[in-house]
Amino acid sequence: MNSTDKSPAINVNITDSAGSQLISLILVWGLFGLLVAQVYIFFTAFPADKAPYKFMVYLLFILEVIQTALTTHDAYRAFVLDFGDPVSLETVRTAWFSVPVATGMIGFIAQIFYAHRIWKISGSNILSGVIIMFAITQLGSALAEGVKAYQAQYFFVLRAKVLPVTVVWLLSTVICDVLIAVVMTFFLLKFKRELHHTSFPISKLVSLSVETGVATAAVATATGILFVVRRSSLSFNIPAYTLGKLYSNSLLRMLNSRILIGNNAGEPLPSNAPEITTLPLSFDHGPTPRSFVMHFGDVEVLEGVGLMWLTTPMLSGLVGWIAELFYAWRIHKISRNPRATVAVGILSFIQLGAGIAEGMRAHSANTLPHLRWRHTFAAIPLSTVLWILAIIVCDVVIALVMTYYLVKLRKEFHYDSSHFIRKLLTLSVETGSATGSPPASHTVLFFGRPQSESFHIPSFTISKMYSNPLLRVLNSRCWTGSSEEVISLSSLAHVTSTSRLETRSLADQPSSSRAHPGKREDGTVVDP
């Protein structure tokens, strides 16, 4: 503990303070992950957007990266370096920047963007000027709040009295966001009545405007209420830390709302897609709150297995099994080779069984030290080796077999089809590498650092590395912009469908840009 000697003696509600910081960290990272996906979609779907829009998105993303990094730094300091020191939970550290300053800057950028949109659709300098005035007010008060927090050094000093600058910051934020939502809704509904054929896109924009204003205003209001009502608590930090992320995600969602999604083949996503993405999230409700909140400072609790026996090997094995069977089915559809399909299926069942066995071993061990390798050949846990080895072998086999048959398929078709299959080849190699890397890292750390728990870091990511590449493969059916690259081949229907992700309606496209038959190298046409 680095700060105990210098910290003042105060009475800290550890459960409340630690719980607030932990929940804030989880929400910050969750919303940051959503923002990364939105930024990727924006630059993929709209590469020809104007430079000011791109600069705005870059600036927002940089600020969000800084805010997320600083939030993580503070949490690491409180829960690791100063673990057990209650005063550490009340230390401001870099929160003076990551909460009021960064949030104020992000909110200012978003509010100026909306003011510009309002000016474009209404032509009113007064309305846009009023919004800009409130945006500047909230930015200035946010910067002043950051200075006050920096000078205070401790949260309990900030909570001693309600500062006028805090009231001005939150109140101007709420008024500005509500005003934006009301004005945008009014003028969009006005256009909807005038232009009947565009009623659907405008209805969508109205919903987005209302949702954006209500969400950000509600979070700012919740921050103010918790700050005033629960003066002895850090619970106000939970909405305060997420306010900036809500601004960024809402703005990117507004920009990305220009995308229209159409399914040319009429095929919905597989029914197991939601389960694949939500199942591994359950590890967030494992031993973390119990270790860092309820038993803050108790080092022995950190050595407990808790629910890791279920969340890491068992659920990761189950998620991996679902993904591997999906790839086995794809291999069967493109190769019609039962041996390759059966081999992948057997390996997937082996890794699932070994994952369950590893979970049972962890449950019976009860403490983490009993799970470590003891430097002897006889002490090597068979379930661990079998589970990791089965994952690596299965993923490598899937990547090799998919690559082999896709290369073979690529040679049979015309250039346009070949270009499309090349993308699937890249996805197959990347998927195998992504899913195989965490188990390999787990093995190296498990045997290379037997006295450390660092091998848990890659093991916790195994399920995520299955879910995300699988969804990326499914979403590879989406296309942006003009559809000149889109193909519709009946012989490729088992590889992918021809769903499109377009920035304009399919009905508006010229016939030359629509899906067309594929051609083999000998010139014969494959009818879609």
pLDDT digits (tens, 9 = 90+) for 136-195: 999 999 999 999 999 989 888 888 777 789 889 999 999 999 999 888 888 877 776 665
Q: What residues contact residue 46 under an 8 Å CB cut-off, 6+ apart?
A: 53, 255, 258, 480, 503
Q: What does residue 354 show for φ and ψ, rounded to 5 degrees?
A: -65, -35
Q: What is the pLDDT of residue 254?
A: 84
Q: What residues contact residue 373 under an 8 Å CB cut-off, 6+ apart?
A: 379, 380, 381, 446, 447, 450
Q: What is the pLDDT of residue 414?
A: 54
Q: What does residue 413 show for φ and ψ, rounded to 5 degrees?
A: -115, 165
* Mean pLDDT for the stretch of residues 74-99: 89
Above 60 in pLDDT, residue 442?
Answer: yes
Reported as a pLDDT band with limits 50, 70 and 90, residue 111 is very high
Distances (CA, A) of 305 to 54, 63, 371: 46, 37, 9
Contact (Cβ atoms closer than 8 angstroms) between residue 33 and residue 114: no
What's the mean per-residue pLDDT of the chain?
A: 75
Q: What does residue 516 show for φ and ψ, rounded to 5 degrees?
A: -135, 160
Structure tokens of 339?
């041996």
Q: What is the pLDDT of residue 426?
A: 74
Cα–Cα distance for residue pair 239/464, rounded to 1 Å: 26
Reported as a pLDDT band with limits 50, 70 and 90, residue 57 is very high
Q: What does residue 497 show for φ and ψ, rounded to 5 degrees?
A: -95, 170
Above 80 in pLDDT, residue 9?
Answer: no
Question: Which residue type is seen at 284?
Answer: D
Distances (CA, A) of 113 to 119, 131, 208: 10, 10, 14
Cα–Cα distance for residue pair 298/319, rounded to 1 Å: 33
Cα–Cα distance for residue pair 367/356, rounded to 1 Å: 18
Cα–Cα distance for residue pair 128/206, rounded to 1 Å: 18
Contact (Cβ atoms closer than 8 angstroms) between residue 344 and residue 327: yes
* Mean pLDDT for the stretch of residues 382-395: 85
Above 90 in pLDDT, residue 65?
Answer: yes
Q: Which CATH architecture has domain 14-253?
A: Up-down Bundle (1.20)
Above 50 in pLDDT, residue 12?
Answer: yes
Reported as a pLDDT band with limits 50, 70 and 90, residue 73 is very high
Q: What is the pLDDT of residue 287?
A: 46
**Domain ranges, ordered by start, for the chain:** 14-253, 273-475
**DSSP summary character for residue 372:** S
3-state secondary structure of 67: helix
Q: What is the pLDDT of residue 133?
A: 96
Reported as a pLDDT band with limits 50, 70 and 90, residue 478 is low
Q: What is the pLDDT of residue 486?
A: 38
Contact (Cβ atoms closer than 8 angstroms) between residue 117 and residue 171: no
Above 50 in pLDDT, residue 525?
Answer: no
Question: Which residue type is seen at 132?
Answer: I
Residue range 356-376, pLDDT digits in tens: 888 888 777 777 666 665 555
Residues 310, 315, 321, CA angle at the centre, nearest 5°? 145
Q: CB-side exposure of 344: number of CA atoms within 13 Å?
A: 26
Q: What pTM value is reported for the model? A: 0.62
